[in-house]
Structure 1
Amino acid sequence: MNAAVRAVVRVGIFTGARVFFVHEGYQGLVDGGDHIREASWESVSMMLQLVRS
């Protein structure tokens, strides 16, 4: 999944789209504020190495 998210963000940025992350799922989308953050090239640069336990 990390590779797919990374690819979508990078293609979006490359094509000039603004890409956003929504943290905390649907509730984060409803609450807004700090739960919605704009993605950057740097925010996904190390995503393939991240492992959640």
Structure 2
Amino acid sequence: MFAFGPGAPIAGDEALVEAGLDMAFTANTTLSVFYAGQPAETDTSNMVRAASR
């Protein structure tokens, strides 16, 4: 395991993955979707966020 600063240690096989997508349906309507995750063999963390404008 590795430790960076005063935070919690992370697994040595962990990766950070982020992806986002904005889709325009009309001139005034947009859908935004964002994903962030930290997959590892022993522990994972995932987040999905969506917004419309």
Q: Shorter-chain TM-score: which interval? A: under 0.3
The TM-score with structure 2 as length reference comes to: 0.25
Q: If each structure's strand is expressed as a fraction of its own residues, which one has the higher value? A: 2
**TM-score, normalised on structure 1?**
0.25
Structure with the higher fraction of residues in helix conformation: 1
RCO (CA 8 Å, sep 6+): is it higher in 1 or 2? 1
